[in-house]
Amino acid sequence: MSSSTEGLTFQDRKFILNGIEGVRRVPMFKELKSILSKVQADYADIRYETKRETKVTFNGEELTQTGSNTTDGYVLRVLKKGGLSSIAFTRSRDAERAIRTAEENALLISRHVKEPVKLARTTVVRETFTPLLEEDPRHVSIDEKLELTRKYNNIPLKHEAIATTTTDYLEITRDKYFLSAEGSEIREDLITTRIGGLISSRDGALIQNVRVGVGGSHGFALLRNQEEEFEKKTSIALQLLKARPVEAGVYNVVLNPSMAGVFTHEAFGHFSEADLIEDAPTLREKMQMGSKLGNAVLSITDDPTLPNQLGFYKYDDEGVAAKPTKLMGHGVLKGRLHSRRTAAAFGEPLSGHCVAEDYRYAPIIRMGNIFIEPSTRTLDELQSAVGDGLYLLDHLGGQTSGENFTFGAQYGYVIKNGHPAEMVRDINISGNLYQTLKNIVAVGNDLVLSKSGGCGKGQMNYRSCNGGPHILVNGVVIGGQ
């Protein structure tokens, strides 16, 4: 579905014209070929991107930002005598200097490494891929985007106890041109939209915050008719003012899909990224293929090819086709996320998970859509199984150190005799990855994947998507206050 061109601004029309395939594609690939032809190395690839960001921001009732801007740049990677190096640059006139720097850096690495870097073989691809969108956001006027954001922003603001909001519309369009010395020539567009932010409630000196976010990777239609989500999060922000802080201690907990997703991403997923364990021998030893790390109820997959999910893409930023990758099956480690370099180093299959934030960065290994596979238990059954414990909902971000992780929940309920009772706040949980994988003793039947994301691993990934069904975890440490 796509909207008509009625109501387009001049700028939008100009953009669509610029975006027509064939008008820019040929000259850009010609320029990239010319740059690559000057590289003297065993392998090289280059990615050029234009990135268009449209932002609308409200702080409380006030509009504080609106506009669209386009930025661009190049990333060149060079493999020479077993050393792999990258350089990012803005101006085409800097290309020759960039080539020399990347070649020198690759040689410098090659003189220091014992094991020369190899890249796993991949299929040569020549393709232009444009994702199917439910309403192309580029065809929606900025005025309409502004009014929709204002409408959602006004939902919390009509309540007296809501102190303020921050509500953003963010649309990022990346037009990527990838060319490799092996002959791959790939055009792919990634279009991400979201409306989200923070709702802050206040009672005297007590301030509570709830995050809200809607959006995804397949069009503007996802942003429409989301009033209910903003109403729901507003209500939680108001209820939190009456909730009591959770008591520190060790609990059996039911995690909702958002919490299960962030556990899967933070605690487990990062250590399925081969680059994070490659040179950490003690971690790598634990993450051996075939190791029984989790409870038999636990299966985890990362699949960037899932249509209509936030983390969708077809080719990664090394030109490798993304593949569904089973990481854990019934508690046993089955697979890993790889770049071409790590796939060769580990002797494992390519997965197509080497992705960059934008034109400022060389790609690194990232998750696409990672999730716990659903099983059969209902939420009621999981809560009954807990007996006395906590039901924790909606993550507030997390972090991992490898063996240990910490992440926050926006709110929770005390479970008494198998039923959720009073609301609690100030919940941060901490755990040991390996113990927790074993302590996930039951998995629900209701898989939900996240609609907006952000994972920082040196670079930001706004399309980081995770999820799961409700899960039951025994023995979780809660920090409280």
Instruction: Name residues contacting other proteins, limited to 30-69 (CB under 8 A).
Output: 53, 56, 59-60, 62-69
404 binds other proteins (CB under 8 A): yes
**Binding span for other proteins by CB under 8 A among 120-128, 183-191, 276-284, 304-312:** 276-284
Residues 153, 173, 180, 208: which binds other proteins (CB under 8 A)? 208
User: Left if phi > 0, otherwise alpha if psi is -120 to 50, otherwise beta: which for 51?
Assistant: beta
CB atoms within 10 A of CB 356: 23
Question: Cβ 306 to other proteins, closest distance in Å?
Answer: 26
Q: Please report, as residue ranges, which positions from 414 to 473 form the binding site for other proteins (by CB under 8 A).
A: 425-426, 428, 430-432, 454, 456, 460
* Closest CA relative to residue 4, chosen from 128, 144, 131: 144
9 versus 123: smaller Cβ distance to other proteins = 9
Q: Closer to other proteins at the Cβ: 130 or 406? A: 406
Q: Could you say whether residue 286 binds other proteins (CB under 8 A)?
A: yes
Pick 352 or 408: Cβ nearer other proteins: 408
Residues 329-358 that bind other proteins (CB under 8 A): 358
Cβ atoms of residues 362 and 450 within 8 Å: no
For residues 402 and 433, the answer to whether their CB atoms sit within 8 Å is yes
Q: Tokens 């439910």 — which residue?
A: 134
Instruction: Report in angstroms how near the CB of residue 225 gets to other proteins at its nearest.
Output: 24
Q: Cβ 135 to other proteins, closest distance in Å? A: 21
DSSP three-state, residue 322: coil
Nearer to other proteins, 75 or 382 (CB): 75
Please tell me the number of Cα atoms within 13 Å of 343 on its side-chain side. Answer: 19
Answer yes or no whether residue 408 interacts with other proteins by CB under 8 A.
Answer: yes
Q: How many CA atoms lie within 13 A of 131 on its CB side?
A: 30
- Contact 195/165 with Cβ under 8 angstroms? no
Min dist. Cβ of residue 168 to other proteins (A): 12
The residue among 132 and 280 lying less far from other proteins, judged by its C-beta, is 280
73 near other proteins, judged by CB under 8 A: yes
Q: Which residues are within 8 A (CB) of 417 and not within 5 positions of it... i.e. 6 or more apart?
A: 387, 388
State the Cα–Cα distance between residues 320 and 164, nearest whole angstrom. 45
Cβ proximity to other proteins: between 312 and 361 the closer is 361
Nearer to other proteins by C-beta: 78 or 350? 78
Count of other CB atoms within 10 angstroms of residue 423: 18
Q: Which stretch in 126-134, 243-251, 303-311, 412-420 sits in contact with other proteins by CB under 8 A?
A: 243-251
Site residues for other proteins, window 374-403 (CB under 8 A)?
396-403
- Provide the 8-state DSSP code for 138: G
Size of interface with other proteins, in residues (CB under 8 A): 92
Q: Is 399 helix (H, G, I), strand (E, B) or coil?
A: strand
User: Which of 20, 30, 279, 347 is in the footprint of other proteins by CB under 8 A?
Assistant: 279
User: Binding to other proteins (CB under 8 A): which residues in 77-136?
Assistant: 84-91, 94, 97-98, 101-102, 104-106, 108-109, 112-114
CB of 422 to other proteins, least distance (A): 19
What gap in Å lies between CA 134 and CA 137, rounded to an integer? 9
**Cα distance between residue 465 and residue 370, in whole Å:** 6
User: Which are the contacts of 56, defined by CB distance < 8 A and separation ≥ 6?
Assistant: 63, 65, 66, 142, 145, 146, 149, 168, 169
Among 122, 153, 164, 184, binds other proteins (CB under 8 A): 164
Nearer to other proteins, 177 or 322 (CB): 177
Contacts of 367 (CB under 8 A, 6+ apart): 265, 269, 270, 272, 273, 302, 311, 337, 353, 455, 464, 465, 466
Pick between residue 15 and residue 129 the one whose CB is nearest to other proteins: 15
Segment near other proteins (CB under 8 A); pick from 198-206, 223-231, 346-354, 440-448: 198-206
Nearer to other proteins, 234 or 299 (CB): 234
Closer to other proteins by Cβ: residue 399 or 417: 399
Determine which residue in the list 1, 206, 296, 421 makes contact with other proteins, applying CB under 8 A.
Answer: 206
Please state, in angstroms and rounded to a whole number, the distance separating the CA atoms of residues 128 and 130.
Answer: 7
Helices vs strands, H then E, count in the chain: 11, 25
Centroid of chain to Cα 12 = 28
User: Smallest distance, Å, CB 402 to other proteins?
Assistant: 3
Of these, 183, 249, 349, 387, which contacts other proteins (CB under 8 A)? 249
140 binds other proteins (CB under 8 A): no
Q: Give residue for tokens 């065809």.
A: 139
Residue 435 Cβ vs other proteins, minimum distance, rounded to whole Å: 8
Q: Is residue 17 at the binding interface for other proteins, with CB under 8 A as the rule?
A: no
Say how many residues make up the chain.
Answer: 481
